[in-house]
Amino acid sequence: MPTRRQLKGRKIAALAADGFEKVELVIPLRALKLAGAKVDVVSLRHGRIRGVNLHMPASRVGVDKTISEADPGDYDGLLLPGGFINPDLLRQSAQAREFVRAFAASDKPIVTLCHGPWVLASAGLLNGRTLTSWPGIRDDLVNAGATWLDQEIVRDGNLTTSRGPQDMAAFVPAMLDAFAKTSPEPTTTAPGHESDPQRSAPPSLAVAALRWSPKPSATAVVSIGLVAAARRAMRGPASQS
């Protein structure tokens, strides 16, 4: 177990947007703070961003700085949580892509899991790298030039990756170790190593969550109808003709 002073004096940026997987941000934040690190949640907007538990809405987390306010030079490392909505929003932001590239350019540690590597792919940072992720985005990362391994933790230089919430017990100590080091880890695999094959079936965790999800409430159904009606009204008669 790392001591509280392991990351004393280190400052970490946690880049996240609405739709982040709750356990992939909240648990790492707590671990980093217990290890003595100062952590800023950096996002696309001010306020509080909404988390999710797989596909269900979860609690919010407060934003410390927007990307335009945060200077990558002020931080010692970058945390990119997953969730399939959060990285999809971030990868479409030019500011977010540039923010991530700044950490890569200075060889600072980047730690990510689940769908988080999507952002790295869109930032053009995966060619020749070795990593893991949520199995469902394996092909996206391979097509971006990466070698993908189906492992709990993969370290490649300044990049530490994990598959998702199912590997959280291994992810947290690997994250703390990555941010504590003063020099990057050596490359995990030799050049030319092939990616692990695609999964033959989706993770049972995700399938079960969708199978047993509750029916939408009457309030939710009415709200969706009201939003649709408002949009039609805003278009006006001319746009409906």
What is the reported pLDDT for 55? 79
CA nearest neighbour of 86 among 15, 187, 142? 15
Mark whether 100 and 176 lie in a shared domain.
Answer: yes
Strand residues in the chain grouped as ranges (E): 11-15, 20-21, 38-43, 48-53, 56-62, 65-66, 77-80, 110-113, 130-131, 147-148, 153-156, 159-162
What is the reported pLDDT for 2? 46
Mark whether 171 and 217 lie in a shared domain.
Answer: no
Asked if residue 28 is part of any domain, the answer here is yes
CA nearest neighbour of 107 among 129, 122, 86, 138? 129
What is the reported pLDDT for 57? 87
Residue 55 among the catalytic residues: no
Measured distance CA(125)–CA(117) in Å, rounded? 9
Question: How many domains is the chain partitioned into structurally?
Answer: 2
Tens-digit pLDDT string for the chain (241 aa): 444 569 999 999 999 999 999 999 999 999 999 999 999 999 999 999 999 988 788 999 999 999 999 999 999 999 999 999 999 999 999 999 999 999 999 999 999 999 999 999 999 999 999 999 999 999 999 999 999 999 999 999 999 999 999 999 999 999 999 999 877 766 665 556 899 999 988 877 777 766 666 666 655 555 556 566 666 666 655 544 4
Mark whether 129 and 75 lie in a shared domain.
Answer: yes
What is the reported pLDDT for 231? 67
Say if CB 40 and CB 64 are below 8 A apart.
yes
What is the reported pLDDT for 114? 97
From the list 46, 55, 114, 193, the catalytic residue is 114
Mark whether 24 and 108 lie in a shared domain.
Answer: yes
Q: Quick one: CA dihedral 39, 20, 71, 163, positive or negative?
A: positive
CA nearest neighbour of 110 among 94, 89, 126, 127? 126
User: Domain of 133?
Assistant: 11-180
State the CATH number of the domain containing residue 57: 3.40.50.880
Residue 115 among the catalytic residues: yes
